[in-house]
Each structure stands twice: as C-alpha cells, then as structure tokens.
Amino acid sequence: MAQTFAGSQKRDGGAEEGPMGYVEGSIIRIKMYNFLTYNYAVVRPGTNLNLVIGPNGSGKSSILCAICLGLAGKTSVLGKGDKVGLFVKRGCNIGWIEIELYKKGGNVVIKREIHMENNQSVWLLNGRNSSQKAVEEVVKALHIQVSNLCQFLPQERVSEFSKMSKIELLEATEKSVGPPEMYDYHCQLKNFRSKERELENVVKEKASFLEKAKQRNERNKHDVTRYYEKKKHLDRIELLEKKKPWVEYEMARQELEGVKKERDEAKKQRANMKRTHVPMLNKIKTIENQLNPIEAQMKAKTVGITEASRTCKQKQDQLDRKNKEIEDIKQGFKMKEVEKHDHQKRISNTRRIIEGLKAELATFDDQQDVTPQLDAVNAELKHNREERASIQGEVADLRREMDNHSAESKLLAKKLNDMNNMMKAKEEKLKGRHRDTHTALQWLRQNRQLFTGNVHEPMMLVINVKDPRFAKYVENYISFHDLRSFVFQRKDDREKFMTEVRDHLNLKVNSIYAPEVSCSNRAPSRPIGSLERFGFYSYLREMFDAPEEVMSYLCFQYKVHDVPVGNNKTKEMIKTVIEEPYMRVFYTSDERYAVKRSFYSNKISTSNSALTPSQYLNIVVDTEQKQHLEQQMKTCQVKLQDTGEKMTTLQQRAATLDRTDNELREEKKQLSLTKGKKRLLEQKISAKQESQRQMEQSGIDLERIEEETKNKISAVNSQKVLIGTEFMSKMKLRHKLRMEEVYLALEIVGLTAEKTKLENDYGQDGAKLRTLDQVCSRLEQRKNQLVETCKDLMKKASEICNIDSVESVSTGLHAALSKLPDTLDEIEALLAEERSRADGFTGLSENVVEEYNRREQEVKNLEKELNEKTNALTTYRQNISEAKERWLNPLKLLVDQINKNFSDFFRSMQCAGEVELHTENEEEYDKYGIRIRVKFHNSTQLHDLTGYHQSGGERSVSTMLYLMALQELNRCPFRVVDEINQGMDPTNERRVFDIVNRTACKETSSQYVYITPKLLENMHYSEGITISCVHNSHTMVSSHQWDEKAFLGKRIQRKA
C-alpha cells in the first residue's frame, strides 16, 4: 500500500506540529496498523482540499473509518457493523490507529488500540493512558463532530443527509459552522420555552381558579346574608318555643281548678241518691237468694235428660245393626242358591265338550303318518342353521375389520386436521402482517381454474422446514418480500394474476415466476462432506421442502443449494472458515456471515449479523408425512367400501336364509300339529272327564245351608228383644225428668218476673246514679291527667328556659317573653309564620359562613400567588427575549450566508437553490429548522430537498453544494465526504467538482477530504489540492520502499 500527500512535514521525535495554514483540529497525520486492508500505512492530509483516489476495493474508505474510530466515533456512524473488533485486519488480534491533530501550543496525538478477541479498545492521549470519555472531551473542544453529517459524511450515509428533517439539519449546521455558543443558546431556548409553557399553564390555572373562587364566593356572599336572616327567624322561633310551654302550663292549671270543683259537686249528688235506694235493693237480693237453688235443680234435671237421651240413641243403633245382620244372613243364603245353579250348569257344559272331543277323535283314525316329511324338514332346518352360523361368523369378522378401518380413518383424519390447523396458523400470521396478500390468496383459491400452469401460494405457506430449529436460517436468508410472493410456472399466468389482483382489486402483492429450466437439483460447488471438518452439517436447501417451481427459484435467485449451515464448531473456527475459497455466505449456530473478496488484491472483508427468532416458518408441517397420511386415508376408505359391500352381500344371504327358515318352521309346525293332534284330543278328553268328576263330588248342600240360616236369624232376634227392653226403660226415665224440669221452669219464671218489676222500679233512679258514678270517675281521671300534665309542662318549660323554678327566670328573658302573645293560638300562628319564613332559606348552614371566610382568605392567597407567578413569567419572557436575540440574529445571519453561498453555487450550475430558516411559530424554538429548496430544470418549481422528490444524483449534488456552502464559513477544522459523486451525471459531476475546487482551496477554508474513485479529465486543479493515490495489489512495494522522486523521474523520462 502506498500513499502520497503533498504539503506535509515531519520532525524527528514525538508528535508533529502542523505547518502554516492548518487550523486547530486539522488532521496532520493518520497512522494505521493491522486496520481493515492495511498492514501499516501513514496518511498526511494537506491544509485544504484533499482528493483520495483509487479503484473500488483498494482501501479508500478505510482511511475514513480510521478517522472516525480514531476520534472516538461510534461504529454506527460508518454503517459497517456494530463491533469495533471487526475493523482489525483478518488474521490479526490487535490493530491500532494514531491520529495527530494540530493545536496551538502543542499538537494532540490520539491512539486507539483495538483488540479483536474481547472487542475492547485501549486509549492513549499524547502517549499516556487515557479513557474514551477524556478523548471525546478533547475532540469536542477542537470542534470535531464525526457524528455530524454536515462535517463527516460516509458513503453508506450519503442518502441519510437528504432524509434529515429540517430540525435535524438546523442542529447539525449549528454544531458544524455556528459559533460555539449558538447550539447551547438554542438548547437553552428550547428549555426556556418548555418552562415558559409550564409557567403559562400555571398562571392560566391560577387565574382560572382565582376567577372561579371569586365567582363561587360571590354566590356564597348572598348565602351568608340569607343565613343571618334565617338565624333571626330561628331566634324568634326559639323564644316562641320557650313561651309556648309556659302558656300551655297556665292553661292546664286553670283547667285543673275547674275540674276539681266539678268533681266535688258530682260526688255530693251521688251520696244523696244512694241514701233513698237502700230498701228496694234489699228486696231484690232476697229474690235472688230464692232463685239460686231452683236454678241448680234445673241444671241437674237437664243433665239427667241428656244422659237418658244418649243411652236411648245407643240402644237404637244396636237395634239397627241387628236388623242389618239379619239382612246379610238372608243375602248369603240367596248367593248359595245362585252358586248351586251355576255349578249344575258347568257340569252340563263339560259333558257336551267331552262328547264333541270324542266325535273329533273318531275322524283321525283313517289319516296317514307324517313322520318322514317331518324328518326331512328338520334336516333342511339344520343345514340352514349351520350356513347362517357361518355367515354370522364372517359378518362378525367383517364388522371387526370395519371397526378397525373406521378407527384408523378417524386417527388419520385427526392427524390431517391438526396439520391443516397448523397451515391455518401460518395463514393468520400472513393476514396479520400483510392483509393484501391474504386477500389475494383467498381470490386465488376461488379462481385457480383460470390458470394453465402451476400456481403456488405465498412461499411462507408452501415452504416447510424439516425441523423447527432450521426455520431461523431459512427465514433470515429469504427476504419477506419473496416469502409473501406467489410463484408461477408460466409468465402469462403471472401477468393474468397481477392484472386481476393489482389492477382490478387494488391489492399490493408480489409475484415471481420460476426459471424455465429447473434449478432445483443444482449440485453445490463443494460436497457437504468436504466441509464437515469446519462444523458444517447441511446446505440450506436440505433443511426445507418446497414445490418444484419454488425450490427452482430459490436455487436460482438465492443459491440455497450452496449456502452451508454450521454449528458452534464453525464459530470457533471462523477465521479459518473465512479464508476458505468459494465461501460467500454461511451460517453458524446463531450468526450469518457474508464474505467479500477484493477484485484487485484478493483481500477479504466480512460482515456478520445475529439471527433473529423465526416468526413465520417455525410452524412445521411434514409434507411427505401429510401426503403419506392422505394416501393412507384413501386406502382406508377403499377398504371400508370393499368390506361394506361384502357385509351387504352376506346380510342379503342371511335374510334369504331367514325367510327359508321361517317357511320350513311353519311347515314343521303344521306337520307337528297334524301328528300330535290325536294325542292332544285324547289328553283333552281325559282332562275334561277328570274335571267333571271333581265338580260332581264338590256339589253344594242347599238344605243344610237353609237350616243354618234360620238358626242364625233366630239368635239375632233374641238379642233384639233384650235391647228393645232396655231402650223402653230409658225412654220412660227421660219422660219423667222432662216433666220435673217443666215445673221448676214455671217457678223460676214467677220469681224472675217479680225481680224484674223491682229492678224496673229501681232502674230510673239507678241510671242517674250510674251516670253520676261515671262522671265522678271521669272527672277524677281528668284531674289526675291535668296534674301530671302541669308537672310535665312545668318541667318542659324549665328545661327549655334552662331554669330551676319560676322565680329564677332572668330579667332579660322575662322581658323578651312578655313582648310575645299570651294565648296559645296566637303563639302557634306566629310560630307557623316564622317557621315558614325560616324554611324558605333552604340549603344554609354555619358551614356556609365558615366556607365563605375560608375562601375569602384563599382568594387573597391566590391573588398573591398569581401576582408572583405573573411577575416571574414576565421576567422569564424578558430573559427568553434576550436569549432569542443572542441566538436568532446570529442564526439568521448564518443562514443568510449559507443561502448566499448555496444560491451562488446553484446559479453557477444554471440551476436554482435556496436555504431558509423555517418555522411555523417563532415562539416554538424546538420547531425551527433549515429548509433546502432546489430546482434543476427551468420547467419546474423549487421543491424541498427530500429522499423522494429528487433523483439520487440530484440529491448528491444538493448535499455536496450545501456542504460547500458550509465550508466557506469554516468553523469545523475538517470535513470528510466519501464518494458523494456516485450517481451524478457527468455534467453535474464536473460542475460540482469545480465548485469544490474553488471553495475548498481558498485560504480561509478549512481542511477538506474528498474520497472519489477517479480524477476528472480536463479539469483545472488548484495548487492547494493534495491528491492521494491509493493502490492495492500483490506487486506493490511497501510504504518504506516507496520513493516519490524516483517515481516522478521515471514518469518524466517515459513521457519524454
């Protein structure tokens, strides 16, 4: 590797100091050891424009990587992996970068040692051990920002520049070319604005709360006034309620005196009346003494009559029962007579039956013997039984066979259903990720007949990994774009499908067609056996099954037949594996590796990425097993059908045998009847004769039964005579007692009439006496009630007025009570009126007054807080206004300068462009941004620079010119741009380079590193340009042997 940088100097010993022209932070020297493609190299940039040229793959971008990592940049800035150890040259364990930066008073030398094994770095600052944080602080102090795309633009991130938002572009520009304090002011303003919003919200909330509190208290003020009016009425009600018991007590006391007088007068009248009624009362008592023994005799007679009547009733019931008993005896005799008649009739019937059977028996003597016919029928029945038993055995065997086939069929159906459910799970995942593809799948299944060749559903549904562990390799290797693609055997079928689903149904789907010549059976470049020593055990193709066309496409497009998969052994031998020829892509147990070889130097570069778990192919359905199960299912169905047909045939034969057997049994029955009928008739005749003999022996003796009946009736009649005698005796006794009862009743009537006459005479004065008694009693009760009422009212009045006695009533209370009415009606009316007025003040309590006073204090506190917050907000806004002027005015000037440079550059290219500070609200400092607008054609308008509106070349031109517009402002010590001219058309490329040449070579410009694969011909190159040629080949001399003067001398001689 050889490099040439013009304008560099070196002094012996230690760090180098930059010559005149360098600004603080400019790169003086870059050393690389075992870094990417370099064994050892030294790069010395010039003070202005540095062109680094060389073929692709020679190591130009490695210099950019060294600058980034050597200045404590992150690997994500480069977009080349996430492990710093990957930047160590292949086959080495340690590599380092050393960068010397110009600084007044002594240059800064930063060295970074990278250890591949543990992916760690060791930092040295000016030859002393340091930390990454200390290096970052030094780099920041020199205004170096390798993460800022406006200063450091790697090739992999060129497209990101146009995708930056306006806000991000403003921040990057501030950091790159603005004064050191500009970005800090911006951050402060954003924080100030955030705090201002908080204060504004607080002030609004306080003001709103204060207004609501005032309104609420204003309403409460009216309630307080009403509360005091209500209290006035309540106080008057309280006085009325204190006066009321005293008025009630006085009324009760007056009523008590009147009741006492009325009671004493009633008692006096009652005593005078009692003295005049004593003789008449004595005579009435004499008559009552005569009536008492007569009434006692009357009660005794009544009891005797009742007892005699009860006995008569019992005897009458006994007579009735005896009469019933005689009727039952007579009825029993009549039943015996009927039974005797029926017995004679049954004997006559039996005799007639015997005679008929004898006559029928006489007709069987001349008939022939049926025994031979009966034997023949029995033999045929036996043959039928044997044949039916054989058929039943065969049917049982067939039924068992059908049960086995049916069970097997159900098991196969369950297994197939489980596999189909797994396919449905795959479809649900597809539906959740890409609904249009799922909709197109449903359309395809309904319209498959429209296509001529094979049409396969999306790959993720038809690819079936042989083991779930393999799913992550296959899914990581095949893009999701292809996994959701439909695969077609014929191109015309694909076009027809896309017309229907994309144009007619407006669905976004992917489709591909398989190669015309199948590639599914392509052989790998090396047998897998030759790779087993590295831990490889299979190629990717052998890990899954797929239809012919799908596998052919994957072999053709992805070379799945040539991607080996290894295990942990492969990971341990990774350095050796990468050196193997023909190794492009391979897998370890948990990582994917991609290997690239330089076309010029055969140097190896690799990238690796961790495997993510499978999301779609981890549901495994064994296709061969499914086909085998479906074939088994068909075979089982055929066997079931054959067995069913055999069983049907046997069942039909069994039915025929059953019909024949029934016919033979009927014939046997008739022959048996014919043979056994004579013997049966003889048996019947014998049985009937025996029955007749028994009936004749068991005849009924009617005369004896009649004699027994008469004796029973005679005995019952004797009992009736005794009962009748007792009945008559009791009837006579009852009649005697009833006559005596009548005489006593007449005597009682006479005495009662005399007593009634005396009582009537006494009744008129007695009523008056009883009335006087009632009056006295009522008045006595009323007096007692009034006494208790007076006591209660006195107690109640004392309690209400809170006094011990009438004498202890205070003068003030007595004066207040004396002003009130003295009658209860007036007090009640006044109470009702006051209560009505008090009830009109609803919803009021002492809490209203307390709440009003509390809120009055709250309002005062809130007013004080609101004033403090308002003053704080005013002060804060003044501070923001001052900070805004410090930030916005310089920023506007800066953007105007950038816009002037940018517009001039575009105008020189016969295009138009402008840069402006953009914001929708001047107070929203986090929404400020830089908007770049460009126009490359006269027929178009200015458009915002985005990642979509302009072409790739136009975006590259805009990016480059914006960076050049920043270059003239010259705050950052250097800028690095990597192959930004890729994609530009030749005209724009020359125009842009001319601008770069003119701008970067000015004395006021800072260091600029421009990496490009070529030099443009017939261009004017300024004297300040430093051109570095990067070569990489096996024939290159080492950097120590390179002699620039000898090389130039040879070139001059050759040219001459």
What is the DSSP code string of 887-905?
HHHHHHHHHHHHHHHHHHH
The C-alpha atoms of residue 321 and residue 310 are separated, in whole angstroms, by 17
pLDDT-based confidence at residue 5 (cuts at 50, 70, 90): very low
The pLDDT tens digits of the residues spanning 658-714 come to 888 888 787 777 777 666 666 777 777 788 777 777 777 776 777 777 788 888 888
Q: Across the chain, which distance is largest between two alpha carbons, in Å? A: 192
With 0-12 / 13-18 / 19 or more C-beta atoms within 10 angstroms meaning exposed / middle / buried, residue 147 is middle
Mean pLDDT, rounded, of the chain: 78
pLDDT in tens, 1018-1041: 677 777 788 888 877 667 777 667
List, for residues 130-161, the tens digit of each pLDDT value. Answer: 888 888 888 888 888 777 766 777 765 665 66
Tokens (6 digits) for 711: 């004796």
Whether the per-residue pLDDT at 4 is higher than 50: the answer is: no
pLDDT tens, residue by residue, 555-588:
998 899 999 999 988 888 888 888 887 788 999 9
Residue 369's pLDDT is what?
60
Which has more confidence, 585 or 246?
A: 585
Determine the average pLDDT of the residues in 711-732. 82
d(CA 881, CA 873): 12
**542-577 burial: b if 16+ Cβ within 10 Å, else e:** ebbbbbebbbbbbbbebbbbbbbbbeebbbebbeeb
* pTM for this model (two decimals): 0.40
28 with 46: CB under 8 angstroms?
Answer: no
- Please say if the pLDDT value at position 3 is more than 50: no
- 1012/54 Cα distance (integer angstroms): 7
Tell me the mean pLDDT in the region 591-618.
Answer: 79
Output phi, psi for 612, to 5 deg: -95, 150
Q: What pLDDT does residue 347 have?
A: 79
Q: What is the pLDDT of residue 553?
A: 92
Give the pLDDT of residue 110: 92
Q: What is the rounded CA–CA span in Å between residue 893 and residue 337?
A: 152
What confidence tier does 554 reach under pLDDT thresholds 50, 70, 90? very high
Residue 194 confidence (pLDDT) above 70: yes
Confidence band, pLDDT 50/70/90 cuts, at residue 497: very high
pLDDT, position 564: 93
The per-residue pLDDT for 15 is 34
